[in-house]
Amino acid sequence: MKNWWPLLLTLVIQAMVAMALLTLPVMAPVVAEAMQVSPALVGLYVSVTYAGAMVSTLMGGATVARMGAIRVSQWGLLLCAAGLLLCAVPWFPAMVLGAVLIGLGYGPITPASSHLLARTTPQSQMSLVFSIKQTGVPLGSMLAGAMVPPLALLTNWQISLLAVAGACLLCAGVSQGLRAELDTDRQPATPIRWGSLVQPIRLVLAHRSLLTMASCSFMFSMVQLSLTTYLVTFLHEDLSYGLVAAGLALSVTQMGGIGGRIAWGYVADRWLGARRMLLLLASLMALGALASAFLTTNTPQSVVVVILVAFGASAIGWNGVYLAEVARRAPPGMASMATGGTLAFTFLGVVVGPPMFGVLSSLFGTYRAGFAGLMVMASVSGTVLFWSQRPAR
């Protein structure tokens, strides 16, 4: 039972930072109306947060080695809380700075958890355990979709941001109780330099298997974050869903992601292996994006739900298999650094993806064009995975 504590703690922390990041996007129509800007600018918010995450995730390996995985996670939660407080200020520069802080807090969470789980998990269970931990992302997104829009309508959007900030602070405080036990491998003398930003990238570029994972995660993240960022706005504006109903649809999509992450991790460990599993998921993502592009106001709600659950299972469910494969392929003792290096490519996809989705949607006057673009990216990533396996065969 003791070995499950790291998994449980990292799962909760991952859920909280994911909820923090998506709190503003899930009520984008309300915030955009209050600020008198276009809801499509939510893509810019996501890009700014993940630009901050790119920087902090590259520092994740060095900071985890020096301070310990739990202490780094606590700092991440505090930064997310501070960012949410700034986003509650109805002034554009403050909200931009808040987005940067949320990104800086979000970035090192996954390298920290990968470091902790890599040394506490048997090799034969890594895909499943990492997939369970990564359900924290759709779990946090599901909580954001189910709780934030009703709270925003009941009170106001600023109170919603303050409430999630308080939850992040509470989680950081609770984590302190396990810090002494789980951060025993920290090395306080480890230096943290600007050169630490480059070292994880060099590690990825030096290993072909890590580079393949990184390039595919770049495209997968474009699909995932575009879906979660724009789904509420797409349903609200193109399909005439109410804000609460659209938020609940996002929660249903995240539930598909939760089930998918656990199922894909189990299947990858037992039968297909990580590469074949990711190739299958790329195909499912392409089909999900294509089906979403054809949704209309006349589409029965039950059909919409089925499509979104299936789309979420693949577009949100790939991360655990991917992170376990990165940790498995990393040199001994370098799981957090390899994770940070590959996540830099992942976050770059997030920086590029939502704005691209927004530009395509604005250009063609419908969010369906954005979903068509996601189908293309999923197909390209599947092609990369297919060709990377040919020499092995």
Give the model's pLDDT for residue 40. Answer: 65
- How much of the chain is in helix, strand and coil states, percent to nearest 5? 85, 0, 15
Nearest to 248 by CA among 103, 141, 161: 141
CA dihedral sign, ordered 207, 212, 214, 215 = positive
Tally of CA atoms within 13 A in the half-sphere of 389 that contains its CB: 13
- For residue 390, what pLDDT is reported? 60
3-state secondary structure of 255: helix
* Greatest alpha-carbon span in the chain: 62
- The angle that helices 136-154 and 126-134 make with each other, rounded to 10 degrees, is 10
Give residue 194's pLDDT. 65
Confidence at residue 104, expressed as pLDDT on a 0 to 100 scale: 95
Q: Which amino acid is at 85?
A: L
- pTM, two decimal places: 0.74
Nearest to 204 by CA among 390, 51, 54, 337: 337
Q: Using CA atoms, how far apart are residues 118 and 105, in angstroms rounded to an integer?
A: 21
User: What pLDDT score was predicted for residue 341?
Assistant: 84
- Structure-block tokens of residue 149: 């829009």
Residues of the chain with pLDDT under 50: 1-2, 391-393
What is the per-residue pLDDT for 379? 92
Cβ-based burial of 276 (10 A; exposed 0-12, middle 13-18, buried ≥19): middle
DSSP label at 122?
-
Tally of CB atoms within 10 A around 391: 7
DSSP string of 32-78? Answer: HHHHTS-GGGHHHHHHHHHHHHHHHHHTHHHHHHHH-HHHHHHHHHH
pLDDT of the residue at 392: 44
Alpha-carbon gap, residue 358 to 230, rounded angstroms:
8
